[in-house]
Amino acid sequence: MEFFRVNNDIPFMRHAVKFNVFSVTLVLLAIFFLVTRGLNLSVEFTGGTLVEVSYPEAVQVEPIRQALSREGYTDAQVQHFGSARDVLVRLPTREGMDSDRISENVLATLQAMDGPDPELRRVEFVGPQIGDELAADGALALLFVLIGIMIYLALRFEWRFSLAAIVAILHDMIVILGFFALFQWDFSLAVLAAVLAALGYSVNETVIIFDRIRETFKKKRGMNTPEVINHAITRVISRTIITHTTTLMVVFTMLIFGGETLHYFSLALAISIIFGMYSSMLVSSPVVMWLGVSREQFIKPKKEKEEAVV
Amino acid sequence: MNRFPIWKNTLIILVLLFGLVYTIPNFYGEVPAVQISSGKATVNLESALVQPLDRALREEGLNPTAVLIDENSIRFRFDDTEEQIRARDLIEGRLNPDPADPSYIVALNLLPATPNWLTSIRALPMYLGLDLRGGVHFLLEVDMPGAVVNRLDSTAGDLRTLMRDRRIRHAGINREGNSIHLRFRDAEQRAAARTAILNNTNDLQLVERDDADDDLRLIATLTPQAQQTIREFAITQNITTLRNRINELGVAEPIIQQQGAERIVVQLPGVQDVAKAKDILGRTATLEIRMVDDSPGALEAALQGQVPFGTELYTERGGSPLLVRNEVVLTGDRLVDAQPGFDGQTNEPAVHLTLDSAGARIFRDVTRENVGKRMAILLIERGRGEVVTAPVIRTEIGGGRVQISGRMTTTEANQVALLLRAGSLAAPMEIIEERTVGPSLGAENIARGFNSVMWGMVAIAIFIAVYYSAVGIMSVAALTANLMLLIALLSLLQATLTLPGIAAIALTLGMAIDANVLINERIREELRNGSSPQAAINAGYDRAFDTILDANVTTFIAGIALLVFGSGPVRGFAVVLCLGIITSVFSAVLVSRMFVNFLYGRQRKLAGIRIG
């Protein structure tokens, strides 16, 4: 079986401007949402308490909110989590409160209410000092990945390719964060980990396309730059789509079977993989073209070697 | 012809066998067990215990299927929970004749049902994180500035004693911030003090400062080495204390570890009573013994709002007010033990304290000079002090054995003893992170993770087998080998498996097939370009190798970043991701090639490859 037996090169670069306009619009929208709505950071980053409980039958959140409010927890966020029987209570850190006792007080309050007793599912308490640290560690991990990939690409390719690949990564990153800001999905450390892993995974797609572009420049003398890029993308598209599809299959099984805990994690993976696929073909390649890549840069093997060392 | 040399095939098969053996323990599940560990620092667990217990169990018709002995515990394995509970009661009765004062902790536990031959080669099931097995995780931070201040306060006391012993006249010794100020009226006394201090201790560095002609000061600060020692001592002391307290909880496999310079991780698998655990752990208290100011009029003035300088107003447990001096006579780290008991003469309930030698000496001096006065024992919790008891000193007390008695019930004596023991933390601690996972969520998480991996695997297998036909089936076989090797590595390293870790296993499978797709697409391309089938297989594997390495470098970079900067569940994710990359390169490049070689490599004249 074969899905993509394409004999003629697909003229991707003819539509390069359209793709670029689309990408730029996406990024601008993402930045807009990031600025206006911001990320819905989980307690790991902000510090605070999260209590998840499960009731034997469906419950309303409003009475729970009122009960907590009577106990002095006026800023408690109460919401259903996955089903009408599961409830999630979130409380920000407050000065002067015995913060490491909040979870017990919340549970005691819920148990004192009329109706069935809830069962404790999960408590997460993160003190303010840890929250800042985790946020800083998350940022460092992000930076480490970006710099690591940049160094790798700089060793692997000429500057035009490296720059284009980095543009593609930043594009993906901003778009994913934009999604999380737009829908106010819970942005936790696990989500950040998923995004970073998926970014690493997508970069190699870009690497493979660039390898093909370089190879095509050397082999096919009659083609101009857009034709070379079209040819390279067409040659690898089958592979790109198949590998990303298999990975997406797994991610979708996680979305289906993984439950609430893995929900945003797999969502982040899914979006990262889809945009990784898009950007490696249709963001990085046009950028390379605009940066003026041409055959002359490859015909002298000596020169290429020099640049590869940089 | 595509054949690996025999040594290569042998090596690959050996690795696969190794993977198989170390994967097996994960399929055995768990059996109930009873675990015995020492309940007191003074009680050693001896293997001599095992024989009589075993005999006693068998007499009752309880047959332990195995006995495991290690440094910290003795564990009896049973067939079902009913036997387990009966055995627990029997062992408890035998080892702890007095339930109020247990020498051993007898706890229910679940043990892997791994056969002994596997256990003996360290083939154990994967180590499940708390989000999968349920339990509590705490991160505690030791208040290091507090530890240093505590030490300065007690040093100030030591200096006062030193000056008195050497008959050096001073005009006051007080702690101000992070230094101790010794005031003198003349330079001669100051020089004498300086010599005395330097002869006495290496921990202090001294600076002279003249504030006025009759206000000469000697400013003592702790040397950096001394501060370092204090910090190290504080954290080790706190870990020891925590370990003792957690033993009181009877948790089967607690983890108490230092993290960084001033943090302690405590993990209590299977603990459901979080409130009790916190009560015992989170009692972030330090103990201080100070003198009570009984001078006439002072208490009345304090009650009217004019607390005399150098004293603080407290309320006794009975409710009556008490004026306590600021100088600390002793801190909790001089206290070795506190046990409830009875007064030998009056038979009143009492608390018996044991002090270390330095503490004993100080205590003797203080009691000698203060007969008839009262001393207060304070428990400082989160910056607030509470007077546990304020007994009258009847006589000089030497030898470091102190008894507090009078106006106490047995329960109160028990409580005070527990508070005092709990108070022997070197420095206060605070819970800065808590994660609790209920047992039902843990079991659910395992099911969720397992289902994700299984159905992900099934989906990929069907797709690849259909898409690449016979070669695809070989790819699926290699992918299965990859999964097996990954689980074997995780079991062997006993890396903590978390829910994100399981997600990473699923993700690794999705990404690992990438390498096989690369190879298979290359083979197709070679065939299309007119290569012979054998040459196509050869070229496909050879050319794809570089690309496979390339493809995994960037994901590996992300994995390493998460390993370095991640904590908790994220770290679990990163470990699996990195290991998964290694196993997937191995299985895609070598294992799948071996399978394809077995399938096609022997035929000299190969008509075609079934690659879909």
Q: Test A249 with B463 for CB contact under 8 angstroms.
A: yes
Contact A111, A105 (CB under 8 A): no
Q: What is the CATH number of the domain that holds A56?
A: 3.30.70.3400
Q: What is the CATH number of the domain that holds A255?
A: 1.20.1640.10
Alpha-carbon distance of B254 to B266, in angstroms, equals 7
Answer whether residue A255 is part of any domain. yes
Q: Which segment of A29-33, B50-54, B315-319, B364-368 scores lowest on mean pLDDT? A: B315-319
Nearest CA-CA distance, residue B286 and chain A, Å: 18
Touching check for B448 and chain A: CB below 8 Å? yes
Touching check for B564 and chain A: CB below 8 Å? yes
Nearest to B110 by CA among B247, B253, B250, B256: B253
- 3-state SS, B358-377, equals HHHHHHHHHHHHCCCCEEEE
What is the pLDDT of chain A when averaged over all its residues? 85
The reply to whether A205 and A88 lie within a common domain is no
Q: Residue B284: is its pLDDT beyond 60?
A: no
Alpha-carbon distance of B31 to B80, in angstroms, equals 7
DSSP 8-state class, residue B599: I
Answer whether residue A6 is part of any domain. no
Nearest residue in chain A measured CA to CA from B135: A122
Residue for token pair 């990303």: A244
* SS3 category, A7: coil
Q: Which residue has the higher pLDDT, B40 or B236?
A: B236
Instruction: Tell me how far apart the terminal alpha carbons of chain A are, to the nearest angstrom.
Output: 43
The strand pairing partners of A40, in sequence order, are: A186
Domain boundary residue among A70, A96, A126? Answer: A126
Touching check for B470 and chain A: CB below 8 Å? no
Residue for token pair 């929900």: A263
Answer whether residue A3 is part of any domain. no
Touching check for B141 and chain A: CB below 8 Å? yes
Q: Test B558 with A196 for CB contact under 8 angstroms.
A: yes
The reply to whether A181 and A36 lie within a common domain is yes
Answer whether residue A2 is part of any domain. no
The reply to whether A172 and A232 lie within a common domain is yes
Residue for token pair 């070689």: B597
Contact A10, A230 (CB under 8 A): yes
For the stretch B490-521, pLDDT in tens is 999 998 898 999 999 998 998 888 888 888 98
pLDDT band per the 50, 70, 90 thresholds, residue B40: low
* SS3 category, B215: strand
Q: Which tokens in the block code for residue B263?
A: 């943090």
The reply to whether A101 and A179 lie within a common domain is no
Alpha-carbon distance of A233 to A15, in angstroms, equals 14
pLDDT of residue B383: 58
Touching check for A193 and chain B: CB below 8 Å? yes
Which residues 6+ apart lie within 8 Å of A230 measured at CB? A9, A10, A11, A12, A13
Touching check for B443 and chain A: CB below 8 Å? no
Q: Which tokens in the block code for residue B123?
A: 């083939």
The reply to whether A203 and A291 lie within a common domain is yes
The reply to whether A120 and A147 lie within a common domain is no
Domain that holds residue A64: 48-126
For the stretch A211-260, pLDDT in tens is 888 888 888 888 888 899 999 898 888 888 888 888 899 999 999 998 88
* SS3 category, B348: coil
Alpha-carbon distance of B354 to B349, in angstroms, equals 17
Query: For B441, which of A121, A138, A156 is closest by C-beta distance?
Result: A121
Please state the φ and ψ torsions of residue B326, each to the nearest 5 degrees.
-75, -30
The reply to whether A155 and A237 lie within a common domain is yes
Task: Give Cα B568 to chain centroid, integer Å.
Answer: 13
Torsion of the alpha carbons at B286, B290, B296 and B301, rounded to the nearest 10: -30
Alpha-carbon distance of B346 to B16, in angstroms, equals 74
Q: Which amino acid is at B114?
A: T
Q: Which segment of A46-60, A85-99, A208-222, B586-600 scores lowest on mean pLDDT? A: A85-99
pLDDT of residue A303: 46
Contact B68, B75 (CB under 8 A): yes
Strand residue runs (E) in A82-135: 83-92, 119-126
User: How many separate domains does chain A show?
Assistant: 2
The strand pairing partners of B605, in sequence order, are: none
Please state the φ and ψ torsions of residue B491, each to the nearest 5 degrees.
-70, -40
Task: Give the number of A-B residue pairs with CB atoms closer than 8 Å.
Answer: 221
Q: Which amino acid is at B50?
A: V
Which among A51, A100, A231 is the top mutation candidate for probing chain B, defined by the most B β-carbons within 10 Å of its own β-carbon? A100
Q: Residue B318: is its pLDDT beyond 60?
A: yes
Domain boundary residue among A110, A126, A142? Answer: A126
Q: Which amino acid is at B166?
A: R
Average pLDDT (B532-542) is: 89
A194 HSE (CA, 13 A, CB side) = 28
pLDDT of residue B417: 72
Q: Which amino acid is at B281?
A: L
Query: For B554, which of A1, A103, A149 is closest by C-beta distance?
Result: A149
Q: Which tokens in the block code for residue A290?
A: 């605009």
Touching check for B1 and chain A: CB below 8 Å? no
Tell me how far CA of residue A128 lies from CA of A43, A100, A134, in angstroms.
Answer: 10, 11, 10
The reply to whether A113 and A91 lie within a common domain is yes
Please state the φ and ψ torsions of residue A164, each to the nearest 5 degrees.
-60, -40
| Cβ neighbours of A243 in B, within 8 Å | 511, 513-514, 517-518
For the stretch B390-443, pLDDT in tens is 888 888 887 778 888 767 777 777 767 766 665 555 677 788 888 888 878 888
pLDDT of residue B341: 82
Task: For strands B321-331 and B285-292, give the pairing.
Answer: antiparallel
Answer whether residue A7 is part of any domain. no
The reply to whether A144 and A121 lie within a common domain is no
Q: Residue A304: is its pLDDT beyond 50?
A: no
Which among A7, A42, A152, A242 is the top mutation candidate for probing chain B, defined by the most B β-carbons within 10 Å of its own β-carbon? A242
Answer whether residue A1 is part of any domain. no
The reply to whether A190 and A302 lie within a common domain is yes
| Cβ neighbours of B559 in A, within 8 Å | 197, 200
Q: Which tokens in the block code for residue B192?
A: 């004498």
Answer whether residue A62 is part of any domain. yes
Alpha-carbon distance of B157 to B240, in angstroms, equals 26
The strand pairing partners of B38, in sequence order, are: B104
pLDDT band per the 50, 70, 90 thresholds, residue A310: very low
pLDDT of residue B317: 65
Q: Test B444 with A248 for CB contact under 8 angstroms.
A: no
The reply to whether A118 and A218 lie within a common domain is no
Mean pLDDT: which of A5-9, B7-11, B286-290 is highest? Answer: B7-11
Q: Residue A96: is its pLDDT beyond 70?
A: no
For the stretch B429-469, pLDDT in tens is 788 888 888 878 888 899 999 999 999 999 999 999 999 99
Query: For A239, which of B278, B517, B555 is closest by C-beta distance?
Result: B517
Residue for token pair 């998480």: B445
Nearest CA-CA distance, residue A208 and chain B, Å: 7
Nearest CA-CA distance, residue A101 and chain B, Å: 9
Touching check for B436 and chain A: CB below 8 Å? yes
Domain boundary residue among A92, A108, A126? Answer: A126
Nearest CA-CA distance, residue A148 and chain B, Å: 6
Q: Which amino acid is at B542?
A: D
Answer whether residue A194 is part of any domain. yes
In percent, how much of chain B has pLDDT > 70? 92
Task: Give Cα A15 to chain centroid, integer Å.
Answer: 26
Contact B435, B135 (CB under 8 A): no
The strand pairing partners of B501, in sequence order, are: none
Instruction: Provide the chain A residues 248-267 that lie in CB contact (below 8 A) with chain B.
Output: 248-251, 253-254, 256-259, 261-262, 265-266
The reply to whether A117 and A137 lie within a common domain is no
Can you list the domains of chain B with their CATH numbers?
A: 6-24+438-601 (1.20.1640.10), 29-113 (3.30.70.260), 145-226 (3.30.1360), 283-432 (3.30.1360.200)
ipTM of the complex: 0.86
Burial B391-427 (b: 16+ CB within 10 A, else e): bebeeebeebebebbeebeeeebbbbbbbbbbbbbbb
Q: Which tokens in the block code for residue B181?
A: 């100020």
Touching check for A308 and chain B: CB below 8 Å? no
